[in-house]
Structure 1
Amino acid sequence: MKKVFGILIVVVLLMTSCKQKIEPADIAKINGYWEIKKVVFEDGNDKKYGVNESFDYFQIDKNNIGIRKKVMPQLDGTFLVNDTFENVKIRFADDQTFLDYSTPYMKWSEEVLALTATELVVLNSEKKEYHYKKTGPIKLDDYGKKTK
């Protein structure tokens, strides 16, 4: 019984220590284009995304206020955009970081679980984890050769 209890303590400690603490200085990393890699559902199943028709574009200022906008990459390196966007505020509370969204019609929040220069993971109120990878414009010329 002591061994089982000891193993449970170790597992709990490992699970709680693996969560990244997001610092205010990390928030600048969120700026730019993000493409969904996968969504992990509450039951542990996931859905992987190969090619996405749209990216999420974040622009957050030094006051932790900004926007998120859906953009559609084009093969010439440009993006199709419209006037629709969500206001975003970054909120820090009890070692957690949240993206608080608002539109004229609704408000909601997502918890930031991980944020690096190349990866963003958020958890929404439906307990779905969205895993993003940093991306940029797509530019193809010379019969499909990707340009630098």
Structure 2
Amino acid sequence: MKKTVCIIVAFLALVSCSQKVVPADLAKINGYWEVEKVVFDSIDDKEYRMNEVYDYFKIDNNKGIRKKVMPQLNGTFLVNDVEEKVAVRYTADGIFLDYATAYMKWSEEIITLTDTELVLLNKDNTEYYYKRATAINLMGDGKTTK
């Protein structure tokens, strides 16, 4: 009996610690995001030390875009005209981003969304871990960049 109570308490503690994404959090997705790692369902995870391409999200009133952008050393981004249309879908299970291009449609669930972290899950159970993009500092002098 004592073991059962301990297991139930441990389970409740784990469940209560998980942060659920709420609609009010969605504004945090706007901006530039860099992939930190990708966790696959059946193969080894992939860590990214440096990315040549970031994802840029701009969502307003549950509709928007996602673009791939290339950061430059002067703090700007190279951008092309290719973008994915994004629609936000709310369900009892969570918040989903529905993407559409001229060639395909797909969805990703928002698992985590904070000011500095974004985790998306696709239908293949692949998790994409993003961090908020910051300015590139190649000097290595420890000074923060603007």
1:67 is the counterpart of 2:62 = no
**One-letter amino acid of the structure 2 residue matched with residue 100 of structure 1:** D
Looking at structure 2, the residues matched to 108 and 24 of structure 1 have their Cα atoms a distance apart, in angstroms, of: 20
Deviation at 1:44, TM superposition (A): 7.8
Q: Which runs of 5+ in 2 are unaligned?
A: none
Q: Which moved more, 1:35-44 or 1:64-73?
A: 35-44
2:135–2:145 Cα contact (<8 Å) kept: no
Q: Which moved more, 1:106-115 or 1:36-45?
A: 36-45
1:42 alignment partner, SS class: coil
The one-letter code of the counterpart of 1:119 is: E
Instruction: List per-residue Cα deviations over 1:33-69 (Å, max 9, x = no partner).
Output: 00001111224842211000000000001x1110000
Gaps of 5+ in 1: none
What is the CA deviation profile of residues 14-47 of structure 1, one whole-angstrom value per residue up to 9, with x for unaligned ones? 5544432211111110000000011112248422
**How far, CA to CA, are the matches of 1:23 and 1:11 in structure 2?**
25
How many residues align structurally? Answer: 144
Q: Is the 8 A contact 1:140 1:147 kept in 2?
A: no
Q: 2:115 aligns to what?
A: 117
Q: Please tell me whether the aligned partners of residues 112 and 122 of structure 1 are also in contact (alpha carbons under 8 angstroms).
A: yes
Query: Aligned equivalents of 1:147 and 1:46: distance in 2?
Result: 30
Query: CA–CA distance in 1 between the matches of 2:3 and 2:31?
Result: 46
Q: Could you tell me which residue of structure 1 aligns to residue 78 of structure 2?
A: 80
Seen in structure 2, the aligned counterparts of structure 1 residues 139 and 45 have a Cα distance that, compared at 3 Å, is: closer
Kindly tell me: are residues 47 and 5 of structure 1, through their superposed partners in 2, closer, same or farther at Cα, counting changes over 3 Å? farther
Answer yes or no: is the 8 Å Cα contact 1:19–1:113 preserved in 2. no
Structure 1 length normalisation: TM-score? 0.83
Contact 1:39 1:46 in 2 (8 A): yes
Structure 1 pair 105/18, CA: closer, same or farther in 2 (3 Å)? farther
**What is the RMSD computed on CA atoms of the aligned residues?**
2.6
TM-score normalized by structure 2? 0.84
1:89 aligns with 2:87: yes
